[in-house]
A and B are shown apart, each in its own frame.
Chain A
Amino acid sequence: MAKRKTPGLNTGSMSDISFLLLTFFLLTSSINTEQGIPRKLPPPKADDAKEQQVDINRRNVLNVLVNFRDEISVNGEVMMVSELKDKAKEFFANPTNDPSLPEKVNKPIDGIGDFPVSKGVVSLTNDQGTSYNMYVQVQNELQRAVNELRDETALQYFGKKFSALDSAAQRAVTSAIPMSISEAPPMDYSKSGSN
Chain B
Amino acid sequence: MARFKNKEKKETPELNMGSMSDIIFMFLFFFMVITTMREATLKVHFTPPSATEVQKLEKKSLVANIYVGAPISKNENTLPPGEVSVQLNDQTIKAEDLVADVRDFIGTEKESRDAQDRDRLTFSLKVDKDVQMRYVNTIKQELRKNNALKINYAAGKKSN
Q: Tell me the A residues contacting B by CB distance below 8 Å.
A: 8, 10-12, 14-15, 18-19, 22, 25-26, 29, 31-44, 126-133, 135-137, 139-140, 143-144, 147, 186, 188
Contact = CB atoms under 8 A, between A and B. Distances in A.
16 contacts: A14-B20, A18-B20, A19-B24, A25-B31, A31-B35, A34-B56, A35-B56, A37-B152, A41-B143, A41-B148, A130-B132, A131-B129, A132-B127, A137-B51, A139-B51, A186-B134
A128 B79 CA distance: 15
Contacts of B38: 32
A44 B145 contact: yes
B14 interface: yes
B151 A128 contact: no
B98 interface: no
B153 A130 contact: no
Contacts, number: 143
B15 A137 contact: no
Given A38-B57, A38-B150, 12 more contacts: A10-B14, A18-B24, A31-B34, A34-B57, A35-B155, A36-B124, A38-B151, A39-B151, A126-B133, A129-B132, A132-B132, A133-B49
